[in-house]
A and B are shown apart, each in its own frame.
Chain A
Amino acid sequence: MSFSAEFLSTIIYGSLIWCALTGLGLAALLIRDMKNGDIW
């Protein structure tokens, strides 16, 4: 039994898009914290 090409492309594209989203999310979160003045 082998992993299929569809499975492989799902996890590869999925993880890359996930990474991109978390990158944007982090930046957004920092801007939100900055506006509230509570980065630290």
Chain B
Amino acid sequence: MNEAAALLPPSVGWLLLALFSALWIGLGVYWGRRNKSFEDHALAGRNIGLALGSATAAATWITSNTTMLAPQFALELGVWGMLAYTTASFGLFLFAPMAGRIRKLMPTGYTSGDFFRLRYGRTAWAIYMVFTLFYSLTWLVSMAMAGGILLNALSGIPYAWGMTVILGVCVAYTMRGGLAAVIGTDFIQSLIIIVGVVIVGFAVLSHVSVEQIHENLEATRPALLNVLFPAAIMAIFNNLLFGLGEVFHNNVWWSRAFAFRDGVGGKAFALGGLIWFPIPVAAGFIALASGALNVAVPAADMVGPLVVAHVLGEFGAIAIFIVVFCSLASSLDSLLAATSDLLTEDIYRKLLRPDATPDKLKNMAQYVTLALGLFTWAVCLPRIGTLASVLFFAGPLVGAMIWPIVTGLYWRSANATGAVGGMLLGAGVGLVCYFAIGWYVATLMATAVSMVWVLACTHLSKSRFDWAQLSETA
């Protein structure tokens, strides 16, 4: 990105950044005062209602990836690119019944790590922790980097400053307010994102009709309209499974399953999926308009902001800036909170200090959040571009965890041999495929191999798990 291409003057960028930072931190401090113990801090008192629950499920899943990558996918892979992206909402739809089951089996559970430890024992738990921490940390790093890069491209704010501010703000309000602050801000952020996407979408359509877009694509980029575009359809299920694995395994989603009030979980995740579902098309189609509007796109990942700024000028650039900032914050905060809870509960409380008081645990969780923020900041500062691509290695890892989790929740015959072997074999084969064939088969192969292994082990196993072992008393 060259500096001249910034869409907003830095002063406007800083002003917007300051306004929203103050808002989020203020809300974090305000909501944080409700939290007395670790349970309040990590799980918001286990009493989240339907409105906040649905909004947080959707908002957390709307990352900068959704609002920025959807246009990029549309430009590279066409209509299929957008449609395929909407399937990521299946992760939320399918997690809905699982969330109810998790709440029922583990009424006092805290984290997904608790599940692995109680269900499959220490070995499976250790592998799970390595996989999920790898995934969570690379995701944190890639989002903080994306934040710095996007703020720089949109407003010319230097990369290091933009990244520092966005990360610092999220750390500050997550530390102070815990999950309550994360979920409360998620509600506001999801409304802002939805309104922003709708306004921008209709504004673009008032400048160029769908017929014009279609005509231009047919003339200059016909493959984008091709129903059988190989590059677009071969990755559909790979990406779908990546999404499923992300939602099923990560403590971001499990902590919400524990935090939602009894009976809310299933509905909230299903509604969250419905809210999320149209976003990739609504945010992505503007990229297809770039040709008809005669917008030159120097790099595929900037197509969204460029088209919007071309059509709407400074107002559009401000709208995009706010939408991007909200989508980044709504995911960064969730990941910070969930990962810090995982480390606090699974490592500190269960391994090191079983007798820690609730108050002490809450303090510990806050320090872990701060430490995670500092770690992410230190890794992001040099801006090593290839770092973000490490996230793709996580595909096989999360894919290999799908079957152990699903069968572990529903089948008494699922066992540790199946889970450990499924995760290791699946991830191994997936990574080999990643290098030998390509990224677009890695998650698919990992999930398929792990499925075969897990099914074979459960079929041969005589053990029957006693569900009561999952509801350990805190």
| Interface residues of A, Cβ cutoff 8 Å to B | 1-5, 7-9, 11-16, 18-20, 22-23, 26-27, 29-30, 32-33, 38-40
Residues of B within 8 A of A5 (CB): 210-211, 214-215
Chain A contacts for B281, CB-based, 8 A: 11-12, 14-15
Task: Decide if B14 is an interface residue (CB 8 Å cutoff).
Answer: no
**Contact A12–B52 (Cβ < 8 Å):** no
How far, in whole Å, are A4 and B201 apart by their CA atoms in the complex?
A: 20
| 7 extra interface residue pairs, beta carbon distance < 8 Å, beyond A3-B227, A15-B279, A16-B202 | A3-B226, A5-B211, A22-B278, A27-B191, A29-B54, A30-B51, A40-B180
Indicate if B187 sits at the interface (CB-CB under 8 A).
yes
Contact between chains at A9 and B210 (CB < 8 Å): yes
How many residue pairs, one in A and one in B, have C-beta atoms under 8 Å apart?
110
A8, A19, A20, A38 — which one has the most chain B CB atoms within 10 A of its CB?
A19
CA distance A3 to B44 in the complex (A): 46
| Shortest distance from the beta carbon of A20 to any chain B beta carbon, whole Å | 5
Chain A hits for B44, CB < 8 A? 40
Q: Which residues of B contact A (CB under 8 A)?
A: 44-45, 47-52, 54-55, 79, 82-83, 180, 183, 187, 190-191, 194-195, 197-198, 201-202, 205, 210-211, 213-215, 218, 222, 225-228, 261, 274-275, 277-279, 281-282, 285, 288
Residues of B within 8 Å of A39, CB to CB, are 49, 51-52
- Contact among B47, B54, B277, B285 for A12, CB-based, below 8 A: B285
In the complex, A16 Cα to B45 Cα: how many Å? 35
The answer to whether A14 touches B278, judged by C-beta atoms less than 8 angstroms apart, is yes
Q: In the bound complex, do residue B205 and residue A1 qualify as a contact, i.e. CB atoms below 8 Å apart?
A: no
A18 and B281 alpha carbons, distance in the complex (Å)? 11
Provide the main secondary structure of the chain B interface: helix
Q: Return the chain B residue nearest A23 by Cβ.
A: B194
B218/A12 in contact, CB under 8 A: no
Q: How distant is the Cα of A4 from the Cα of B82 in the complex, in angstroms?
A: 15
A24 → chain B closest CB, angstroms: 9
Q: Is the CB of A40 within 8 A of B282?
A: no
Instruction: Report yes or no: A16 in contact with B201, Cβ–Cβ below 8 A.
Output: yes
Residue of A nearest to B226 (CB): A2
CB < 8 Å neighbour of A22 from B49, B187, B275: B275
B261 touches A38 (CB 8 A): yes
Partner of B214, one of A8, A15, A19, A26: A8
The smallest C-beta distance from A30 to any residue of chain B, in angstroms, reads 4
CB-nearest residue of chain A relative to B228?
A1
Which residues of A sit under 8 angstroms from B52, Cβ to Cβ?
30, 33, 39-40
Asked whether A26 lies within 8 Å of B51 as measured between CB atoms, the reply is: yes
Q: Which of B55, B194, B205, B226 has the most A CB atoms < 10 Å from its CB?
A: B194
